[in-house]
A and B are shown apart, each in its own frame.
Chain A
Amino acid sequence: EAGVAQSPRYKIIEKRQSVAFWCNPISGHATLYWYQQILGQGPKLLIQFQNNGVVDDSQLPKDRFSAERLKGVDSTLKIQPAKLEDSAVYLCASSVLAGGKNEQFFGPGTRLTVL
């Protein structure tokens, strides 16, 4: 079974530029999560989708971050414009359903460096 796929794996941009990350969850997983992991910290949830609807985006900086999950499968996370403090690893995870007993499977992440 294929795991969660993410691309690109690495991205370097200048501040104020835009960037987009892509995630393809495990087939059949209805729930998709985006996490931000700043160096030296644990991942922090940015947004959670159930199919193509948003369940939780309370910690998403909506003035610069946006995310969508068209057709309830793939998802993209965009930052526009980027700031220095956005340098982090962006992790995508998926689970069969929402709910604490459903294991989340994580992708390898995209490491973003903002110069």
Chain B
Amino acid sequence: AQSVTQPDIHITVSEGASLELRCNYSYGATPYLFWYVQSPGQGLQLLLKYFSGDTLVQGIKGFEAEFKRSQSSFNLRKPSVHWSDAAEYFCVRGSSNTGKLIFGQGTTLQVKP
């Protein structure tokens, strides 16, 4: 069965520092991959998505992610974290035909001033 693993449950970084959140997906042809963010009291918001083509994808709020097929990874990065980035981040795999989303367990990001 398709699955998504986020190895880090909780990460703390200082404001202005760089960020990398890890994500691994189970093997499968043409994975549709997403990163969503969920802030306290807010709904889920799409940060970026990968379907095919260029393996480095740019998203909103200065985030980017790199798809590496050889490592079955889709890590999220940001060069300089802002306090407002504190939230829950989900790596998600999508079904190409039905659109069903399979979520990882999430990584909670805390930002220190």
Contacts and interface: CB of A to CB of B under 8 A. Distances in A.
What's the dominant secondary structure at chain A's contact region?
Answer: loop
B74 to A, nearest CB: 14
B44 interface: yes
B: interface residue count bin: 20 to 34
B98 A48 contact: yes
Interface in B34-83: 41-46, 49, 51
Contact of A100 (B96, B105, B106): B96
Given A55-B98, A101-B96, 19 more contacts: A4-B43, A33-B101, A41-B105, A42-B4, A42-B92, A42-B104, A42-B105, A42-B106, A43-B44, A45-B100, A56-B98, A56-B100, A93-B44, A95-B99, A98-B99, A100-B94, A100-B97, A108-B41, A108-B42
